Amino acid sequence: MTIDGKTRVCGLMGDPVEHTLSPIIHNTIAEHMGHNLVYVPFHVKKGQVGDAVKGAYELNVLGMNATVPHKSDVIPFLKEIDPLAENIGAVNTLVRIDGGYKGYNTDMTGLGRAMEKEGVNIAGKDVILLGAGGAARAVAFLMADRKADTIFILNRTYEKAKEVADEVALKTGARIIPMPMSDYEKLPLKKFVCVQSTSVGLHPNDEDVILDDPAFYQQLEVGIDLIYKPAETKFLQLCRKNGANGFNGLKMLLYQGVVAYELWNDVSVGDELCKAVERKLIEAQ
């Protein structure tokens, strides 16, 4: 691409940030769509996020992503915030508006887009979330927003599952049932969409899995692992072996970037371009 006086800048602020795959997503889309835009990483240390947001606006930066440890810390420095991001309490995309930036959580809208592309409609479905950390909490809000019928949160520590369930139910009115992981056999005998939101199975511990009972996987219609390295976790292997479809977290990474790009540029990114970007992400791992 040619960088000139009309080139717009977008970027990612995080600490660390050097490992990011996000430039692949945004610079590939910009190149294919003929946009005069470049996306770069910005190393912003914890405690400096307010200065970074103000500086980005003054430098006419079109949009920003935020990653660890800034997703919650950035919120006080926003001009506006999207309702889903506000409920979750985390922002990963800043969109330039008059006087500042509006915050969105495209991690979750990206996961929602990934599910749509995989033919997974959450409305009226029963959902299992494995884990009760920050990722599971965000997914619970997404599933409530997508009108899931009942959300079961299974966690090794029941108290943590109950804490997340109570908060999401209070804010959304969704039906959410916390359970200790050891009680998985007490789940209703029906088909579920299951999201694996823990770090169990993350490389290099490729053979680890949070549940290994085939009977559990036989109740799944779809399994989604938020891990994308390895591409085929033990969780996904068990899903497929027992008749469930499944996909990993690379699609969430892809579509969180796609949604952010669309918000910044007021465009729609087509399926073929998304597939081309996904191939580049796979090659880069």
Indicate the DSSP class of residue 16: S
Spatial contact of 256 and 267, defined as CB atoms under 8 Å apart: no
C-alpha distances (whole Å) from 105 to each of 69, 174, 179 are 15, 20, 27
pLDDT per residue as tens digits for the range 94-148: 999 999 999 999 999 999 999 999 999 999 999 999 999 999 999 999 999 999 9
Q: Specify the pLDDT at position 270.
A: 97
Give the pLDDT confidence score for residue 90 in this predicted structure. 95
Known catalytic membership, residue 280: no
Q: Confidence class of residue 195 from pLDDT cuts 50, 70 and 90? A: very high
The pLDDT tens digits for 254-276 are: 999 999 999 999 999 999 999 99
Distances (CA, A) of 268 to 7, 264, 272: 20, 11, 12
The answer to whether residues 205 and 198 touch, using CB atoms and an 8 Å cutoff, is no
Hey, which residues does 245 pair with through a beta bridge? 222
The b-or-e profile of 240-267 (16+ CB within 10 A means b, else e) is eebebbbbbbbbbbbbbbbbbbbbbbee
- Distance in angstroms (rounded) separating the CA atoms of residues 118 and 123: 15
The whole-chain average pLDDT of the chain stands at 96
Give me the pLDDT at residue 3, please: 92
Measured in residues, the chain has a length of: 285
At 43, the amino acid letter reads: H
The predicted structure's pLDDT at residue 285: 83
Q: Considering only the top CATH level, what class is 109-248?
A: alpha beta
Give the confidence band of 1 by pLDDT, cuts at 50, 70, 90.
Answer: confident
Name the superfamily (CATH) of residues 8-104+251-284.
Leucine Dehydrogenase, chain A, domain 1 (3.40.50.10860)
Residue ranges of the domains in the chain? 8-104+251-284, 109-248
Q: Is 2 helix (H, G, I), strand (E, B) or coil?
A: coil
Closest CA to 230 of 278, 282, 280, 276: 282
Sequence-separated contacts (24+) of 240-247 with Cβ below 8 Å: 241/214, 241/217, 242/214, 242/217, 242/218, 243/217, 243/218, 244/194, 244/217, 244/220, 245/118, 245/221, 246/222, 247/114, 247/118
**CB neighbours of 84 closer than 8 A, spacing ≥ 6?**
104, 105, 108, 109, 141, 142, 145
Domains 8-104+251-284 and 109-248 share a fold: yes
Beta-ladder partners of 101: 96
Over residues 5-40, the pLDDT tens digits come to 999 999 999 999 999 999 999 999 999 999 999 999
Nearest to 33 by CA among 275, 273, 282: 273
Q: What is the mean pLDDT of residues 80-102?
A: 97
- 188 burial type by CB count under 10 A (0-12 exposed, 13-18 middle, 19+ buried): exposed
| Tens-place pLDDT, residues 199-248 | 999 999 999 999 999 999 999 999 999 999 999 999 999 999 999 999 99
Using 50, 70 and 90 to split pLDDT, how confident is the model at 2?
confident
Predicted pLDDT of residue 231: 93
| Amino acid at position 128, single letter | I
The catalytically annotated residue of 45, 46, 54, 71 is: 71
> Sign of the CA dihedral 239, 21, 105, 132?
positive
